[in-house]
Amino acid sequence: MNAECPRIADQLRRAFDGKAWHGSALRELLSDVKAAQAHAHPLAGAHSIWELVLHIAVWTRAAVGATQGQAMAKIVGTKEDWPVVSDSSPEAWNEAQHRLFEAKDQLAAAIEQFEDARLKETVPGRQYDFYYLFHGIVQHSLYHAGQIALLKKQMS
């Protein structure tokens, strides 16, 4: 019987889409952010909202790949870890958000279909298990959501 995987998928959806215990989810935080705001760097040395969105999406997509048997590449500290915003148009901002939530949808569906018995299997390319990865993606996304909330507050 699968009981844990659907609960993890629910936590992922709450972190991204709403009805989260902690407060505003990513979708709520991003709903009123315009491209210029997303691209801004209101705090010296901090990433922009846009960069955070791209970063969250990178790790979410990597987790999707892992559920499909793809080895997770070592991306910490690489250009892939923190993609550069090369087009700061409103259309590019909308696309970045779309890709983030599309990756979340893919991962949530993959987690729901994942067998609880496999949660202790080692993630391809890593030295930890899927249980750790799935909860880590939720935690990682919420950590950066908090940064987005602070950046928005700084700009208001």
For residue 45, which phi and psi values (nearest 5 degrees)? 80, -5
Specify whether domain 4-155 bears CATH 3.30.1490.20.
Answer: no
| 64-102 confidence digits (pLDDT tens) | 999 999 999 899 888 899 999 999 999 999 999 999 999
C-alpha 48/C-alpha 82 separation (Å) is 11
Tell me the C-alpha distance between 103 and 61, whole Å.
6
Band (pLDDT 50/70/90 cuts) for residue 1 is low
Provide the b/e sequence for 8-25 (b: ≥16 CB within 10 Å). bbebbbbbbbeebeeebb
| Bridge partners for 122 per DSSP | 129
Task: Evaluate if pTM is beyond 0.75.
Answer: yes
Model pLDDT for residues 29-48, shown as the tens digit of each residue = 999 999 999 999 999 999 99
Tokens 């990682």 correspond to 140
Domain segments of the chain as ranges:
4-155
CB atoms within 10 A of CB 79: 8
